[in-house]
Amino acid sequence: MQVVIVDFGSGNLKSLYTSLGKAKEDLKNINIVVSNDSNDVKKSDKVILPGVGTYSDCKKGLESVKGLRDALEETVRRKSRPFLGICVGMQLMSTVGLENGKTNGLNWIPGQVVPIEPGLMKHETLAKPKIPHMGWNQICPNKSHFLFDGITNERYFYFVHSFHFLCDFEDNVLATVDYHQSLVAIVEKENMLGTQFHPEKSQLLGLKFLSNFLKWKP
């Protein structure tokens, strides 16, 4: 099985590659490739799209690599190969992002990516939450999923983001995180998953999450 980490100039590629190498230790015949070659994406059995930075810059980076957008559409949407978007890679699955202006996304999961607003506080003496949302937070699954297999009830993962995904349909929200308001932590649709948190930075639970993705057969 070949797993491609898509390199479009934005992402924790080394950290993710290393984490996947640890996550697949108990699995056999898995080849992990970091590539921006559309042919590698088309030949892959699973695709991971990491993203760090702004929504607009990541989308430009993706579009700048010849044939890469079409390869993703063919592999993920038409061939239904399992897909994992991480952080901005997850946000790009949306219809549109509003960071640094309006930018069209991949439109795989209906919704928009908008700034985190502090909102109403539970108690007026509490300090406003810091933006970006950065650090360890517990996710709350909305329903059962193979991705949570073997993951304890603690479910703490590492987040770094100032914008969040507002899904049009609740069915596409697999898990949320409470940061003074409910924010989307994981999105899903058919063969596609996306995490707002960084599994590659989330220590043992992150490795278990990645291992489950490698085993996942939607």
Active site members:
87, 198, 200
194: part of which helix (H) or strand (E)?
strand 192-195
| C-alpha span between 136 and 157 (Å, rounded) | 5
The residues facing 59 across adjacent strands are none
Residue entry with tokens 């909305």: 142
Contacts of 174 (CB under 8 A, 6+ apart): 141, 142, 143, 145, 147, 185, 186, 187, 188, 193
For residue 14 the two structure tokens come to 């080394």
